[in-house]
Chains A and B, each alone.
Chain A
Amino acid sequence: MTVPTIDAMLAMPGVTMALQTLTSLAAILIVVWLTRRLRLGGDPRIQSEEQARQLAEEAICGFDPQAVAIDRAGIGALARDAMGRVLIIRQHGSHFAARLLTSHANVRLDERFLTLATDDRRFGTITLDLGDQAAVWAASLRRLGASTQ
């Protein structure tokens, strides 16, 4: 049996591409390891109602909150505008992301904690510690989607 030389192996279809892919994969793992090693990333928190309003406006241009509730740790917030639209804002990595809540089907109240999910499964579920406001918001959210049910 003849053992192929390195040159012959590299000449085989797909071998070079496979090697490049494996090398790239290794480089990716090293870079991602370095991001953790260098402690890159952030832990942003919503510090004020003003910031929550700004995040709402950034998520939907022209969204003007009439009411805002912020999680006690600042990991997320709820905002309602004059049209009755409710926006969930939550931490996403070093930034925030938001979705409109269109139904109360995935809203759960547990004392001061309000757990919410939207139609977008990948956006995930968020539990907000809203204190005394949790029950108030839970009651108001029951009206969401009422016209379609």
Chain B
Amino acid sequence: MLAHAAHHGPPTSFIRKYVFSLDHKVIGKQYYALALVAALVGMALSWFMRIHLAWTSAAIPGLQLLTKNGAPGGVMTPEFYLQLMTMHGTIMVFFVLTTAPFAAFGNFFLPIQVGAEDMPFPRFNMMSFWVTFTGFVVLMASFFTGDGPTLGGWTQYAPLNAVGPVGGPGQGLGVILWAASIALFCVGQLLGSLNFIPTTLDLRAKGMSLMRLPLSAWAWFITSCMGLTAFAVLMPACILVILDHVAGTSFFVASNLVMNDQLLPHSGGSTLLWQHLFWFFGHPEVYIAIVPGIGIVSHILITNMRKPMLSHRVLIYSMGALAVLSYMVYGHHMFVSGMNPFSSLAFSFPTLVITIPSTIVVLIWTFSLYGSKLRINSASLFALGFISMFVSGGVSGFFLAQPSIDIMLHATYFVVGHFHLVMGVAAMFGIFGGTYFWFPKMAGRMMDETLGKIHFWLSFVGAYCIFMPFHYLGMAGNVRRYSTFVDDFLQPLIRVHRFITVAALITGAAQLIFLYNLIHSRFWGKPAPDNPWEATSLEWSTPTPPPWDNFGGKLPVVYHDPYQYGVQSSVGDYVMQTSPEQVKKEHDEK
């Protein structure tokens, strides 16, 4: 039986409209607001960390408010550094990079882009957000309970994650809250994925064949398929960690371990089991963060190039290939973990192969610019910046895919530079691009272009100043996750860390320009027309902002491929998907 969009009436009360809303658009905005708050918290934590790394004994005013014992006089202790680092990674990966590009934009625009009134399970959708929100609250609560958040890093390696308070500050209640938070997050994303998949497959408007879906819709669909399988593995893993703490089980703690001269009361657990479960989720997660960005950037670029990509299909197939391969490469996180060394080689080759679809995506983007009429605005600048960052972060993957080189670079700042550029900054640029592009539809007002461009320049140059030197530090052997650099060989590198810290503070401050622009434009921005970018896809055929049922009670009919630009029509050089007008193409689409 085909799914159909749930027919709920327009909300009447404040609570139904803005809090427990069934409307995918409100839920999308709620996800965006959550990601925004999470990003600000995550960024503030990174500021504290960077100041400490550059000037270890510096007092940071107000830091003691976040912790009971972690910052006497505002000076960070080593354990508090690790707690902040863990929270920074967890907040950013889960509550920003997954939440904003996938859950926020996907919720708001996927149903509209396919031509549906809503998702098939709006109650699940509402639950998805509120469960995720609860996960965030639980994570934040760990700052204010017991001896603070866990210090085990966002990867929470076993058995440190399962030995309990004897492992250090935050390793008792802190870990339990972390695991509970992530398990809740997984439930939220599973519910979200369960909605995204049938929305794409079953709720498409008349004439909207799969190949007529915009690339952003394809990206969300592929991401939700990944989400369904990846989060379904991480959630039980988190539950097993909690059981190791509260139920006396030993899933992740081996026999005969000794801490504080006491034999631990565990036996028979496996250290590597956690790593396999975590990375089976963890590597697809990288693509869960970046594939929506690939779709969003393609969508923005096409609109601003005024021509379609060289191949719509090849981009879709490449995103699909990235998704499938992402499950076959996860062992590259474990080359020196003690896993069988033959496995390292087996995981190395798919990792090298995954550079091929990534390269194809970059080549299609870049060479599609050829012969275009590129419009430069905040959205397209961030989209182009995404390509640059994706390339810079991607090429360092050549190194890390090889076990022999990983011997030198594993657990160094090289890895930190790699993933920050390719899944951190690139994904953030996708979010920013998406915001500048879709804000008019979401808020009904235009954002300030001048502020947007200033934000772009500071972010683009700043991100390179921060993350490119990370690679050099890693090549010199600078180990990551150190709160202070006491080793002799690290002393000459501290000046590089100081440069990075200054760049991070300036780049971080530039994000406040974005925040100001977002809030100011929301209330006082220029009213947005229905289709400010002269775009073709369905979200621009609705009124601005779209009514509660998206299309005013009349489902659209689709007549064209998603990106009919560079044509001659009655409205200009484009024809909307919903326009029955037949147009003459100026060029051949290959």
A-B interaction: no
